[in-house]
Amino acid sequence: MRSLFDLLAAQRRFVYLVVALLSAGGIYAALNLPSAIYPELAFPRVIVVAQGSSLGARQMLFTVTRPIEEAVSIVPGLTRVRSRTIRGGSEISITFTDNTDMTYALQQVQARVNQVRTSLPGEIEIEVERMTPSLFPILSYNLEGGDPATLYDIARYQLKPLISRVPGVGRVDVQGSDVREIEVIADPARLAAQRLTYDDLANAIKEATGVNAVGRMPQDYKQYLIVAAQEASSPESIAAIVVAHGLRVRDLATVTLGTEDHVRIIAGDGKPAALLNITRQPGGNTLAIVDSVASLAASVAETLPPGVKLKPSSSCSCSCTTPASPRSALRPSRSRSRSASSRCT
């Protein structure tokens, strides 16, 4: 032991150099390593969320949940599939073995879901994601000072694209109490008198408001695609659509500007607000993202309408009457598949 001490004492300059290099490396790492609220963990789990239908829990179970479960059951490395179904939504939790390559497993699950996608109801929206800490928001902002529909439009179409371009930001989710839409309220008596159904009316509107390729025209050694764009921009354009027998939508229904059915109420400080939840990319620096978004919020404050303010929020008051999003309303159940009554969590 004495000889080791003598050796270190004789080489004290070298020891000082090593200590200085290690200290410099520690300072550099402390300043450059990404900071996050949650550690970088890789859970052997993939979540499939299907939502957007008006079907009841039992119908969702047999038309959406079961087909997806059967499709993903042959993915290599799978150990367990658990699901929860409610009215209009379904969540399937897929667990893999600990040594599974989760990037490859995610691709396999997406491929299997895409194979059965055409057999599912057309209005269903499906999200397939790995279960990682980066799915959880690290930052929330409230947009206040106006009517709910206008606040949502500003947050969705003006602020979300700007925040999404901030380095390290993975996703920006916008929630609002009111989302604008054009409402078509059909008159059952008029439809019955013309021997038409609700589907006839809906299909006529759908076919007349799309963007379709209607032909090709060769010229000058080039082939031009002819596209018919009939996108609806106002209630009047919807009301003028021809349904059948020379009748237009206005003859069979009332067309007005409105909002989607209320499934949530977003409020900040007791006032109507739009909520922006910001998540980071895997490996992103949380502190750098917070500072960058704060700088962006300060720079866009002058471009907002009078009275509208964008400010960070630690919490948001949210209540709903029907499940707004299976991501928040659905939790894994203890049984593999079961139907449940509609409820909000």
List phi, psi (to 5°) of 244: -170, 160
pLDDT, residue 82, reads 94
Nearest Cα to 264, choosing from 178, 156, 169, 138? 178
pLDDT, residue 138, reads 86
pLDDT, residue 327, reads 44
pLDDT, residue 62, reads 92
pLDDT, residue 80, reads 93
> Measured between alpha carbons, how far is 88 from 323 in angstroms, rounded to an integer?
8
CB 101 within 8 A of CB 86: no
> Measured between alpha carbons, how far is 303 from 309 in angstroms, rounded to an integer?
10
Residues of the chain predicted below pLDDT 70: 1-2, 33-40, 314-345
Pairing of strands 242-244, 139-144: unpaired
Label residues 152-191 b or e (16+ Cβ within 10 Å = b).
bbbbbeebbeebeebebbbbbebbbbbbeebebebeeeeb
Determine how many CB atoms are found less than 10 A away from the CB of residue 335.
9
pLDDT, residue 38, reads 66
pLDDT, residue 2, reads 61
pLDDT, residue 265, reads 84
> Measured between alpha carbons, how far is 140 from 276 in angstroms, rounded to an integer?
6
**Model-level pTM?**
0.69
78: left (phi over 0), alpha (psi -120 to 50) or beta: beta
